[in-house]
Structure 1
């Protein structure tokens, strides 16, 4: 079983993959969004290339646990993703994952330019790892 984690944003989609046992998540790439067709085609390519069986999409909730406009967009994206790829898609609370990823990169003294290039796939890896950790207990 291999999972794919996604950090869905307005301009990019951060992509992470689990190992084949579903224990660890690693950032794979950042998709620069163009059209929905191209975005879904690239996601399909990744699922086929790596044998992905389930997808986890980060759900940005407000700090009071409500779902705002950005969360609604992610819910709609995940439903379309499920219909398009025909595989299970899970939503996972992504609050503070980008903050955590940024903090980790700052502590590692990564330059601002490089942080910008990897932050989305690192956030996707954190979303996926948190999902897998919660389901391994």
Structure 2
């Protein structure tokens, strides 16, 4: 039997097994990322054009069918003090549309404060610049959203964020 005094780490809560999709919703573009079934590594999938919402929802449904995730996590933009503004209301409405079109796959909203800033800084540091980098930034932000959701679940042992119920 190990205890904290002997330096052994306490057992970590189990992460549910299964692939997940992470989604960063923007006005012009929607970044999509996926992780492996063990939730170890999130990787970019694609950038979906976001201006035509019905077309974006159809593409996300196709990606969901292709990847067969156990859930889709969508970043919810909150202000730094945690309040929700117009951007969050748009994402909530979009998440409802996603939940409806991909049902019965669960959709969850997770806090995404600073993900685009973090993604942009990381990509700049690795030499990605200009307009060409924008679609990559959206995918990188989706990776960060997914990685943080996986880490939150690892730490708490519970599904991350807030469940969106589809009104089907």
Q: Give me the CA root mean square deviation.
A: 1.2
Answer with 33-42 or 98-107: which moved more.
33-42
- Aligned-partner Cα distance in 2 for 1:119–1:47: 21
Answer with 90-99 or 80-89: which moved more.
80-89
Which runs of 5 or more residues in structure 1 are unaligned?
none
2:27 pairs with 1:10: yes
Q: More relative contact order in 1 or in 2 (CA 8 Å, sep 6+)? A: 1
Residues 119-130 of structure 1 aligned to structure 2 (within 5 Å): 119-130=137-148
Aligned to 2:108: 90
- Aligned-partner Cα distance in 2 for 1:35–1:116: 18
Q: How many residues align?
A: 137
Aligned to 1:133: 151
TM-score by length of 2: 0.77
**What is the CA deviation profile of residues 101-131 of structure 1, one whole-angstrom value per residue up to 9, with x for unaligned ones?**
1111111122323322300000000000000
2:90 pairs with 1:73: yes
Higher helix proportion = 1
- Aligned-partner Cα distance in 2 for 1:111–1:97: 17
TM-score by length of 1: 0.94
Could you tell me whether the CA contact under 8 Å between 2:76 and 2:109 is conserved in 1? Answer: yes
Aligned to 2:129: 111
Runs of 4+ in structure 1 displaced over 4 angstroms?
A: none
2:40 pairs with 1:23: yes
Select the structure of larger CA radius of gyration. Answer: 2
Which runs of 5 or more residues in structure 2 are unaligned?
1-17, 156-168
Could you tell me whether the CA contact under 8 Å between 2:77 and 2:88 is conserved in 1? Answer: yes
